[in-house]
Homo-oligomer: A and B are copies of this chain.
Amino acid sequence: MYELGVVYRNIQRTEASLADALGPLGSATVHEAMGRVGLMKPYMRPIYPGAQVSGTAVTVLLQPGDNWMMHVAAEQVQPGDVVVAACTTESDDGFFGDLLATSFKARGARALIIDGGVRDIKTLQEMDFPVWSRAVSSKGTVKATLGSVNVPVVCAGALVHPGDVVVADDDGVVCVPRSMAAAARDAAEKREANETEKRKKLASGVLGLDMYDMRGKLAAAGLRYID
């Protein structure tokens, strides 16, 4: 994150099968499986509901009001990537619209995660190109100042290295470091397996108090029932 004016061309992407496996598990389950770290701030919202994506991160560091680096990033995109764009300062400007989305999509990008603004959202939905952003804004940008591509970035409070896995859905966006992806998938799948059974029990009226065996701990903590 501390280098400006550079583009790293050779990044180590997480294995595609791993990146693909994490998406369907969902951001909440993956985040839980990782020990509740790596989550972007909840101000990051999808521009339309229902999209569920995972992929390997190509990172972009933008300057405020300037989307020059997005064009540089497009060339670095490979099929299965998710572009993750941070800015050197907080900005709601519309750094990204349907033209860039067309280019990103042509290169094989699956989504954009941007700690900034985005525009042409109706067209983006028609194109089925999902974006998670901090804002929607018609405000266009200039092309005047260098940032970087494929350096580590802090995006919405989460550290993202190029090649990490990004998982995004209606609940939010989680970054899974490359070195943790296999473990996160395994833990998340285990969680999910458990959840199906738990869901059945709860649906039948069993209480979490009993299913999780909480009554003793609650009493030990001093919980009092008053009639």
Chain A interface residues toward B at CB < 8 A = 1-2, 4-10, 26-28, 30-32, 34-39, 41-42, 45, 48-50, 52, 63-66, 68, 71-72, 74-75, 88-94, 97-100, 102-103, 105-107, 117, 119-122, 135-140, 142-146, 152, 154, 157-159, 169-172, 174, 177, 180, 195, 198-199, 202-205, 207-209, 212, 214, 217-218, 221-227
Closest to A221 in B: B146
Q: Are B106 and A202 in contact, CB atoms less than 8 angstroms apart?
A: yes
Contact A7 B65 (CB under 8 A): no
Given A120-B171, A177-B2, do A223 and B72 touch, yes or no (CB 8 Å)?
Answer: yes
A121 and B27 CA atoms in complex are apart in Å by 11
- B39, B103, B157, B221: the one within 8 Å of A202 (CB): B103
State the number of copies, please: 6
A121 to B, closest residue via Cβ:
B170
Q: Please give me the 4 A-B residue pairs with the lowest Cβ-Cβ distance, nearest first.
A: A64-B65, A71-B208, A144-B144, A103-B202
Determine whether the beta carbon of B92 is less than 8 Å from that of A90.
yes
For the complex, what is the distance from the CA of A59 to the CA of B146, rounded to whole Å? Answer: 29
Distance in angstroms between the alpha carbons of A139 and B140 in the assembled complex: 22
Can you name the residue of chain B whose Cβ is closest to the Cβ of A104? Answer: B202
A175 to chain B, nearest CB (A): 9
Known A7-B225, A42-B92, A154-B157; judge A137-B218 contact (CB<8 A): no
Query: Across the two chains, which residue of chain B brings its CB closest to A200?
Result: B102
- B10 adjacent to A227 (CB under 8 Å): yes
Partner among B42, B138, B217 whose Cβ is within 8 Å of the Cβ of A28: B138
Chain B's nearest CB lies how many Å from the CB of A49?
Answer: 7
| Inter-subunit contact A122/B209 (CB<8 Å) | no
Chain B: minimal CB distance from A190 (Å): 15
- From B26, B39, B154, B208, give the contact of A137 (CB < 8 A): B39
In the assembled complex, the CB of A24 is this many whole angstroms from the nearest CB of chain B, namely 12
Contact of A135 with B42 in the complex, beta carbons under 8 Å = yes
Name which residue of chain B comes closest to A145, CB basis.
B142
Contact of A159 with B214 at beta-carbon distance under 8 Å, contacts A89-B139, A142-B145 already known: no
Name the B residues within 8 Å of A177 (CB-CB).
Answer: 2
